[in-house]
Structure 1
Amino acid sequence: MTSLRTWDVYLIGTLPSNEYVQQKIGRDKGIFINSQNVIQSVLKVVSKEPDHLPKERLFTCFSHDLEPFGFVDNSMEADAVREERLIQFLNDYLVVFNPSRKITASRNEVYQARDIQLIRKSDRYKEDDWFMPIPIFSKKKNGLSFEEFTTRLLNQRHVGKVPFVSTEPNDTPDIILWKDDDGSLTVFGTFHSHSYAYGGFCFMADDSLYVKPFPDNWMDDVYEVDESILFIPDGRYEDLLLLLKGEGASMHTSGNQSESAGEVAAAIMEVVRPNEIAEDGKSPIDYEQEELKFLDHFIQLTKENGLYYEAKDLVNFHTAMKTSNLVILQGMSGIGKTRLVSSYARALNIHNERQFTIIPVRPAWGDDADLIGYVDAMNHLFRPGDSGLVDAIIRAAKEPDHLFMVVFEEMNLARVEHYFSQFLSVLELDADRRIIGLYNDHLESGLKNANQYPAKIPIGSNMMFVGTVNMDESTYHFSDKVLDRANVINLHVLPFTRLRERTNVRTLTSKMSYPLFHSFKKQEETLQLSEREAECLWELHLQMQEAGRYLGIGPRVVRQIDRYLQNLVPSPYLSRREAFDLQMVQRVLTKIRGSEELLHPVIGSLHPESNEVVGGSFLSVLKRFEDISDFTETKKVLRQKAKELKMNGFTF
């Protein structure tokens, strides 16, 4: 039984010298007649190999692979004549191929060149040339205009795919190319890393992105394959890096190019910084005003759907959705939790089932296979779960410029940390590392639908996860593993008199897209909490630690509170003081659970006459920090927890 693997990359090969062949594999020469009377040759790789491909291998090529390009072999001639004819033929060409490896039944590795193309060597070709591959993007291949492509690069968004270029993290190209309709090339760089999903490449540069036209007088030195890859000698590649960064002025283009997108780029974008170009590539966008317009739209839609929530609760929900990997809406049955999520989806321009997936959670779910699916070993298929989650993730990865939302209805009917365990670990990772495993990698080659359902699938940053929960005797309480990663929002019923109000409903059309929604997000890594806010959280942490060694506020929660406050858009609906109060309820008080003996010193007790909380270390800390918040909602929750301790002897 043999095993075959083909790498989806292009390499360039040439016929090596006999000395090189003898050194590498011990044969006298690189061309010979094999036992099937077919001329067999070996190729030496002369282009940069992907990091994951075995290095310095010789690849086998057969004469029949060359027949489409005009090579003719006459098996009746002498072996030496046939071999010499192939040598003379190959001396004129560079061989472009896909590398493959076959492991034979005797466990030998055989490397072969597949899907061969030939490129005639230019007059400037040198025997010691070593080629670097540069991906080429274009409107024809990627469906973007030059302005759209540039804007996406600047904002570190996906710019599309290039076939037969390595997508591995260690193979980030320093530079990439744009090909204009007239054939002129523009160079972009330099890039230090990239991510890759179904939307293609997303390149990360340092503070500056350099853009220059590719010199016309270098075109005889390079080789273009399928309008997708430019192979350039490594010496010219180094020259290009110098040219791109403004050094080596003598290497600038001679000026005989006609005016093109490349010249425009060189003139107005020699050094540009991310986020200075708007969506239309022309003028800056006031993202704060755009976000306020979106909030007004969202508030209007909730009214249109017969929902009556305070505007600050809607802003709280929106801010949590921007900054949390998972948002959980909690409240009594019948108050419109799912309708609220639907209204938000509509405000985000998510209208169809492709982008909006509702998953009713089943009580019997015990692990992530119930949610994701399983391998049907008998039929050699992966069977995705009935939830539709896997298909939603794959669709989102294929369409990175669209938002996708997944809603888990009655999320706590089963234990979240069991059926959602893999997601809880993955969602907190950086966007390019958020990968879910459907099954073991070694099974992939044996599954009939592995192309549709690969062993690993990425969770795009354009995916949003929401859960709705009821708290009653039929449900499970959340573990700390869930609470550390989620904003748990309590929705409250407003006075029923509000149901009598009539609203002049306006039909609004949303222009929201993922790039615009993403532009609302602020992700400053340095902690932006004020000194007093940080001190308050630390004091509360110490008091919780006094009550129990496993109680407290972890650094993860502090960073998430900070990110929430960073992303609070200035509005008349929700102030920073109120938002800090809400974060105390949603991120800190959710973790104060346990017996009266354990928590009474922290929570305090109810005064028999005023029905207010008295005593308790938590309340004393809040009083010392009233300069940063009134803690109105926090005190309400403390009162409820004190009541539960008194009546039940414990609180959740």
Structure 2
Amino acid sequence: MKTYPQNILNQIKENYILGVLADENESFPNLGDDSSPITYASQMNDIIFYIKPLSQEPKEIREVEQNSFNMAPYYIGFANRFFNNSFNNYNYTINERIDSLRKKLKNKLILFKPVLKVDEKRERYHKNIDEIVIEEDDWIYDMEYHAVPNIQMTRQEFEKALINQEAIDLKQYNHAMPAPLFLMCENHIYGNIKENQWRIDSSKSNSARILISPSTIKRIELTDTEYIEKIVSEREAIVFVEEPFLMETISERIEKEGVSGDEWKNEWMDTPSGETTFTDEVVHGYSQVREVSSNELREIDFIKELDLRAKERKLVYAKTDLINFHASVKSSALTILTGQSGIGKTQLATLYGETLGLSQDNDTMLILPVSPAYTEPGDILGYLNPTTGLYMPAETGLVDFLRSADENENQVHMLIMEEMNLSQIEHYFSPFISLLELEEKNRLLKLYSEGAVCHNNQTYKPSIRLRDNLIIVGTMNMDETTKDLSDRLLDRANVVVLEKRSFKEIKDELLMTKDNPTINKNIGAEDAYGQLYMSWRSKKDSWEALSDKELEFFDELDKSISKVDPLKGFSIRNIMRMGTYLNNIPVDIEDSYQIESREAVDLFIKQRVITKIRGPVETYESLIGTLRTSEETPDGQLYKLFDSDKAKEISDFTKTKIDLSRKARELFANGYAT
């Protein structure tokens, strides 16, 4: 039996459902003395009645129904709770009281709040009723209704909020309900809305949502006659509209006559610089309408937003690290964040996802803490049970997350593997490592054999495609409790080592952010960033990023390494990855968030090539050299190459030489470089 926290149960009963007394010919649970829609229950000493829902129900209630074999579709009401007149007048017989209640309820629309009640003893749920209202309108046989949030704002305020992607408070239709497909404000209905356009904003209330890509929305105006005849049970913040009228007549009118977002602004907005506009653009091979500002929502704005969000949480990262991490994520199937314990590796990865509008609530981000007990892929994925014939997904939730990414290819998904080297990555993560370098069409993650018997194969198919919309970021600590990374993994991942800032630098930057009133988050922009992310990935050929002079230098670097260890040279894969990385460095025309090409080359060499140069002094002394003190410079071949005049034409290789010096000190002190 699945359990729901109390806050979810409380949310459920804040909503409204429209219903009708159940039909006499239907079957009911054995709660009363007979099988009738209104019956006396001797064990409760009460009259109970069954209400059939006619409008949307909370998601958790639908989930309980789907997972319960014998749960009735009706809601149960108790006369003693709701009625204080002749229905409970004990001067009348039970049958007279039942007849009186039947006359009151029969063929009437009944508005109520749903209650999901837990029966822990019997391990089951019951659907009950709260705050019942009997409407004056009669029910039209077979008619169903659609609950539409009625926005308590002026139409101009509402439309501005939509365009600016501000949170809209959907009172009386909160997060427990399915995402609304229509909205109402004043006497206008807004449609052409999809469920996946909504993002929950729990920071404001349990009914606040943000509508992304509002350019698709259109509105029409209802006539007075339509309003009177087709809308029933109007409440402060919700109305109920006849389903056929809404889904057929209104939907058709919205498609043909609907007024779009651009036209809203012409009605009530001035056009100052910086206004929001909509423009057509080809994104990732598809023609899409995306929302931009007149200043253009640039990629660099996303990095600035990420920086501000970090500082809000008292985290200060070097701008170079933020840009490097961003470019690494765009250009590599796997990015690994490492650095001093407590520096904020997981927080940076999480903030990156949140700034893109991703969250664990909407299944677009998954934080997976790695356990030392993971020894094989089944520990994080799951397995096909040969006894039951059922695929059993692991408790990590990874399979369902990957299914979501596969089924929603235009929505970015981010997997964060926390402390991923607590167990041997090459063991539990081996299928992913093999697939990371393949083209999307060939990246099929096998869950079980195609010919195997799997009874739930409609949900869990034999394989899942790992699409380009999947971002994988791992975090690592390097100590005695962790496992080393193999060359095979290092050849497929960017390893970003976060710089430790001085305490004074951290204090100064946090104070500057706090004291500067002009620094504000761009509220709601994360959804636009998420929409644009795929278009930020460069389509340029990786070889175009590198000059002949650079290629000649890297050939020399490869020869130097290969003489010592042929398996650790500068591979063709790495030179192509370097080109892709360089192509994905964003350009900031203001130069405040900028990595020059020379610095980017240095960063890539350090995190993709030098990471593999490790081993015993007997093998690597000539290549790395040894250092007794920090004042000296290594006498190894690599340091001399990166310090040469030929190298300085390409980059100063500052970070690369610092890392080589560290390895040289380790060789002298420990006889082994890591």
TM-score bracket, normalised by the shorter chain, equals 0.5 to 0.7
Alpha-carbon offset, residue 604 of structure 1: 2.1
Alignment partner for residue 671 of structure 2, among 620, 633, 649? Answer: 649
Alpha-carbon offset, residue 395 of structure 1: 1.0
Question: Kindly tell me: are residues 598 and 290 of structure 1, through their superposed partners in 2, closer, same or farther at Cα, counting changes over 3 Å?
Answer: same
Question: Kindly tell me: are residues 324 and 285 of structure 1, through their superposed partners in 2, closer, same or farther at Cα, counting changes over 3 Å?
Answer: farther
1:401–1:513 Cα contact (<8 Å) kept: no
Q: Secondary structure at the match of 1:280?
A: strand
CA offsets 1:547-600 (integer angstroms, 9 cap, x no match): 123221111111111100011112323111111000011100001011112111
Question: Kindly tell me: are residues 551 and 351 of structure 1, through their superposed partners in 2, closer, same or farther at Cα, counting changes over 3 Å?
Answer: closer
Alignment of 1:120-519 (within 5 A): 279-280=288-289, 290-353=298-361, 354-443=363-452, 446-500=453-507, 501-502=510-511, 503-504=513-514, 506-509=520-523, 510-512=526-528, 514-519=530-535
Task: Write the distance in 1 (CA, Å) between the matches of 2:560 and 2:430.
Answer: 30
Task: Write the distance in 2 (CA, Å) between the matches of 1:609 and 1:419.
Answer: 39
Task: Write the distance in 1 (CA, Å) between the matches of 2:653 and 2:359.
Answer: 38
Question: Kindly tell me: are residues 549 and 428 of structure 1, through their superposed partners in 2, closer, same or farther at Cα, counting changes over 3 Å?
Answer: closer
Q: Secondary structure at the match of 2:315?
A: coil
* Pair 1:635-2:642 in alignment: no
Structure 2 equivalent of residue 534 of structure 1: 551
Question: Kindly tell me: are residues 283 and 349 of structure 1, through their superposed partners in 2, closer, same or farther at Cα, counting changes over 3 Å?
Answer: closer
Structure 2 equivalent of residue 122 of structure 1: none
Alignment partner for residue 578 of structure 2, among 561, 574, 597? Answer: 561
Alignment of 1:72-151 (within 5 A): none
* Pair 1:626-2:648 in alignment: yes
CA offsets 1:517-553 (integer angstroms, 9 cap, x no match): 1111113335121112212221111000111232211
Question: Kindly tell me: are residues 414 and 625 of structure 1, through their superposed partners in 2, closer, same or farther at Cα, counting changes over 3 Å?
Answer: same
The range that moved more, 307-316 or 393-402, is: 393-402
2:416–2:474 Cα contact (<8 Å) kept: yes
Task: Write the distance in 2 (CA, Å) between the matches of 1:277 and 1:451.
Answer: 28
TM-score, normalised to structure 2's length? Answer: 0.54
2:372–2:422 Cα contact (<8 Å) kept: yes
CA offsets 1:86-131 (integer angstroms, 9 cap, x no match): xxxxxxxxxxxxxxxxxxxxxxxxxxxxxxxxxxxxxxxxxxxxxx
Question: Kindly tell me: are residues 513 and 437 of structure 1, through their superposed partners in 2, closer, same or farther at Cα, counting changes over 3 Å?
Answer: farther
* Pair 1:522-2:529 in alignment: no
2:562–2:569 Cα contact (<8 Å) kept: yes
Segments of structure 2 that go 5 or more residues without pairing to the other structure are: 1-191, 198-255, 257-280
Structure 1 equivalent of residue 607 of structure 2: 586
User: Percent of pairs identical after alignment?
Assistant: 33
The AA in structure 2 aligned to 1:535 is E
Segments of structure 1 that go 5 or more residues without pairing to the other structure are: 1-142, 149-257, 259-271
2:570–2:609 Cα contact (<8 Å) kept: yes
The AA in structure 2 aligned to 1:558 is I
2:321–2:499 Cα contact (<8 Å) kept: no
Structure 2 equivalent of residue 127 of structure 1: none
1:540–1:618 Cα contact (<8 Å) kept: no
Structure 2 equivalent of residue 29 of structure 1: none
Alpha-carbon offset, residue 294 of structure 1: 1.2
2:641–2:647 Cα contact (<8 Å) kept: no
1:536–1:621 Cα contact (<8 Å) kept: no
Structure 2 equivalent of residue 62 of structure 1: none
Structure 1 equivalent of residue 56 of structure 2: none
The range that moved more, 614-623 or 457-466, is: 614-623
Structure 2 equivalent of residue 5 of structure 1: none
Task: Write the distance in 2 (CA, Å) between the matches of 1:282 and 1:512.
Answer: 7
Q: Secondary structure at the match of 1:633?
A: helix
Task: Write the distance in 1 (CA, Å) between the matches of 2:450 and 2:398.
Answer: 20
Task: Write the distance in 1 (CA, Å) between the matches of 2:306 and 2:630.
Answer: 42
Alpha-carbon offset, residue 475 of structure 1: 0.8
Question: Kindly tell me: are residues 603 and 423 of structure 1, through their superposed partners in 2, closer, same or farther at Cα, counting changes over 3 Å?
Answer: same
Question: Kindly tell me: are residues 351 and 371 of structure 1, through their superposed partners in 2, closer, same or farther at Cα, counting changes over 3 Å?
Answer: closer
The AA in structure 1 aligned to 2:445 is I
* Pair 1:603-2:603 in alignment: no
Task: Write the distance in 2 (CA, Å) between the matches of 1:475 and 1:277.
Answer: 43
Alpha-carbon offset, residue 468 of structure 1: 0.3
The AA in structure 2 aligned to 1:521 is R
4+ long deviations beyond 6 Å: 272-278, 281-287
Q: Secondary structure at the match of 1:379?
A: coil
TM-score, normalised to structure 1's length? Answer: 0.56
Q: Secondary structure at the match of 2:458?
A: coil
Task: Write the distance in 2 (CA, Å) between the matches of 1:511 and 1:578.
Answer: 31
2:642–2:648 Cα contact (<8 Å) kept: no
Alpha-carbon offset, residue 364 of structure 1: 1.9
Question: Kindly tell me: are residues 382 and 542 of structure 1, through their superposed partners in 2, closer, same or farther at Cα, counting changes over 3 Å?
Answer: same
The AA in structure 2 aligned to 1:508 is N
The AA in structure 2 aligned to 1:589 is I
The AA in structure 2 aligned to 1:598 is T
1:462–1:514 Cα contact (<8 Å) kept: no
Task: Write the distance in 2 (CA, Å) between the matches of 1:650 and 1:275.
Answer: 46
Task: Write the distance in 1 (CA, Å) between the matches of 2:292 and 2:531.
Answer: 16
Alpha-carbon offset, residue 279 of structure 1: 4.1
1:347–1:512 Cα contact (<8 Å) kept: no
Question: Kindly tell me: are residues 437 and 311 of structure 1, through their superposed partners in 2, closer, same or farther at Cα, counting changes over 3 Å?
Answer: same
2:308–2:521 Cα contact (<8 Å) kept: no
Task: Write the distance in 1 (CA, Å) between the matches of 2:326 and 2:616.
Answer: 34
Task: Write the distance in 1 (CA, Å) between the matches of 2:294 and 2:381.
Answer: 40
The AA in structure 2 aligned to 1:401 is N
Task: Write the distance in 2 (CA, Å) between the matches of 1:408 and 1:283.
Answer: 33
CA offsets 1:250-296 (integer angstroms, 9 cap, x no match): xxxxxxxx9xxxxxxxxxxxxx9988997438999997x61111111
1:366–1:415 Cα contact (<8 Å) kept: yes
Structure 2 equivalent of residue 131 of structure 1: none
Q: Secondary structure at the match of 1:448?
A: coil
Q: Secondary structure at the match of 1:382?
A: strand
Question: Kindly tell me: are residues 372 and 274 of structure 1, through their superposed partners in 2, closer, same or farther at Cα, counting changes over 3 Å?
Answer: closer
The AA in structure 2 aligned to 1:537 is F
Task: Write the distance in 1 (CA, Å) between the matches of 2:298 and 2:640.
Answer: 39
Alpha-carbon offset, residue 499 of structure 1: 3.9
Question: Kindly tell me: are residues 607 and 506 of structure 1, through their superposed partners in 2, closer, same or farther at Cα, counting changes over 3 Å?
Answer: same
Q: How many residues align?
A: 388
Task: Write the distance in 2 (CA, Å) between the matches of 1:435 and 1:320.
Answer: 23
Task: Write the distance in 1 (CA, Å) between the matches of 2:659 and 2:395.
Answer: 38
2:302–2:529 Cα contact (<8 Å) kept: no
Task: Write the distance in 1 (CA, Å) between the matches of 2:282 and 2:405.
Answer: 28
The range that moved more, 272-281 or 547-556, is: 272-281
